[in-house]
Structures are given as C-alpha cells and as structure tokens.
Amino acid sequence: MNPEFLEVIHGRTNPGIDPVVHVWGWEVPVYLFLGGLAAGIMVVLSAIELRSGERPASRGTRWAPLGAIGLVSLGMGALFLDLAYKLHVLRFYTSFEPTSPMSWGAWILVLVYPVLALQGLSNLTADERGWVAGKVGPLAGLVRSVSEWADANRRNVLRVTAATGVGLGVYTGLLLGTLSARFQWSSAVMGPLFLASGVSTGAALLLLLRPNAKEQQTLLRWDTAAIAIELVLLAVMVLGFMSGDSADQVAANQLLGGPYTPYFWGLVVTAGLVVPLVMNVVETRRKLPATALAPLLVLIGGLSLRTILVAAGQVTGYGLLP
C-alpha cells in the first residue's frame, strides 16, 4: 500500500452539510433583516394611508419608501457576497418555478424596486420632486411623468405596494421554513413570524425618522400590535417544538437550555419585544413623548431573531438525532 495515498469512505451524501454546517454566515441574517425591514415600511405606510386617506406628512415618512430601496439593495448585496458562484445569480431570472420559494423571492425582489419608486415619488411634495428631477438630469421628464401617473392611481399603487410588502415579508420566513431538513426552521409559523417582525421593525424605523405627533401615535399602535402578534407566534413556535417528535425536541432544546437560550430569551424576547411593548403601552396611555430607546430595541431584536434562528438551524439536522 502506498503510504502517501489515503482513501476515505463515508456514508454521508454531503459532508459539508451533514451533520453540522456553518455555511451561512452574517450575510444571510443581514439580508433577511433588511428585506423584512423594507417589507414592513411598505406594509405600514400603505395600510395607514389606505385606511385614513391621509398621505405621509413628515419628511421622514415621505422619503421612507425611497430609502427602503437602499435597504433592499444593501440586503441583496449581502446575499450576493454569500453566493459561491456569483455569476449564477442571473439564472434565477431565466425561468420561474412556482414550487420554489427562492424563485418567488427572486422575482418579488425585482418587483419591489418599481413599486417602492412609485410610492416614494408620489409621496414627495412638488419641491421635492423638482429636486429629484434635477438630480437625474436627462431622466427628469420621466420622473415627473411617473410621479403624475402614480398620483392619479394612488390607491391602486398603495394596494400593490401593500401586497408586495406582504409577499416580501412572508418570503423571508419561507426561505427558511421550507428547509425541513433543518429542524429549527421547519415551522409553519416562520413566514407569518418574519412578516410580523418586519412590520414591527419597519414601524420602529419610521418612529426614528421624526414623524409628526399624529403619525407617531399611529405608528406606535402598529408597532405595539405587531410586537404582540410576534410574541404569540414565537410562543406557538416554541410550543410546537416542545410537543413534536424527536426532531422538534432537538430544535426546542436549542432555545430551552441549549447554547442559544440566553440570546433568544434575553435579546429577542425580553429586550427586543417585551421591554419595547411595555414602553409603547406606557407612552400611549400616558401620552408621553416618544423615546428612541424602544424602536432601537425592536430593531436589535429583529436582527437578533434572524441571526439566532439562522445559526441554530445550521446545527439542528438529522445527524443530531439519537
């Protein structure tokens, strides 16, 4: 036998994944967080205006949809860094696969850009539109025409924006939830959970953009409701793991005594949800001036939720079953 030759025989189909994998780093949680944040802005602003009939009044809420384009772009940039074969990203747009969440996500992300542009441009005042037109040079006429068309079809634009935001928010959860081989992600509530988290973080970011007093009270109510729903969905997820089979028990152990327990209950549940919820209720009932602390905690909790679930999912596979 040649001493320099070593043959390795294994029964795994992919030794890079099974039983333990750390393929996804910081890029994926950042992508999921920024995508959910943009989705939340789309849903909250559209739903508020559709219900009240009043357009965003403060500068921050008027410009938020255009800023959300930057958030989506940063998120897609982080995801692009994670790709091993970066030029293959174009293959997502050569077909549409109805049964593939990634295919849905790729096309939803393309739709997000024009939808946000329409909502954002029609939000602006005449002076602000003139400023934007002056910055784009030869495209100034197009900007004015698009703004006028979006104005004339405002409610339809808002309906499409809300629907696209819901699709984007749910997709960020389904991207994980459909990967049943990873027990931490295999939960039916993952899509609604990430949508609720996106709405709460989106409302929190809007609260940091100095809305007027009326907008602030409305955003506080949206943020409070979204946080409450998120807490319920987290409870459903954990209870589902606890009452499930051996695979679910492995997932439950990661959050109930395992290595991710202090981060999940400390950063996500307590600091990111319970504390902001109490602060929102107190501020609303006593009509106190809003502080930046609660929205910042919500944003930290939203990023922590995605970071912890992505990390925990990569160590909860069939290789850990007894």
CATH classification of the domain holding 275:
1.20.1630.10
Full residue range of the structural domain in which residue 184 is found: 27-320
* pTM across the whole model: 0.87
Once rounded to an integer, what is the mean pLDDT over residues 291-313?
93
Distance CA(252)–CA(272), nearest Å, equals 20
Q: Would residue 257 count as lying in a domain?
A: yes
Q: Would residue 171 count as lying in a domain?
A: yes
pLDDT at 247: 77
- Res 322 pLDDT > 70: no
The upper half-sphere exposure of residue 163, i.e. CA atoms within 13 Å in the direction of its Cβ, equals 7
- Res 13 pLDDT > 80: no
pLDDT at 21: 46
Q: Hey, what are 312's tokens?
A: 């925990």
Q: Would residue 37 count as lying in a domain?
A: yes
- Res 245 pLDDT > 80: no
Percent of the chain with pLDDT over 90: 48
- Of the candidates 63, 61, 68, the one whose C-alpha atom is nearest the C-alpha of residue 45 is 61
Once rounded to an integer, what is the mean pLDDT over residues 197-218?
93
Q: Would residue 9 count as lying in a domain?
A: no
Q: Would residue 215 count as lying in a domain?
A: yes
Q: Would residue 3 count as lying in a domain?
A: no
Q: Would residue 17 count as lying in a domain?
A: no
User: Beta-carbon neighbour count of residue 293 at 10 Å?
Assistant: 11
User: Beta-carbon neighbour count of residue 57 at 10 Å?
Assistant: 12
Instruction: Name the amino acid, one letter, at 277.
Output: L
The alpha carbon of residue 253 and the mean position of all alpha carbons in its chain are separated, in whole angstroms, by: 25
- Alpha-carbon dihedral sign for residues 103, 13, 179, 39: negative
- Res 321 pLDDT > 70: no
Q: Hey, what are 153's tokens?
A: 């079809």
H or E segment at 100? none
Once rounded to an integer, what is the mean pLDDT over residues 117-121?
93
When mean pLDDT is compared across 17-21, 91-95, 128-132, 157-161, the lowest value belongs to 17-21
Q: What is the mean pLDDT of the chain?
A: 86
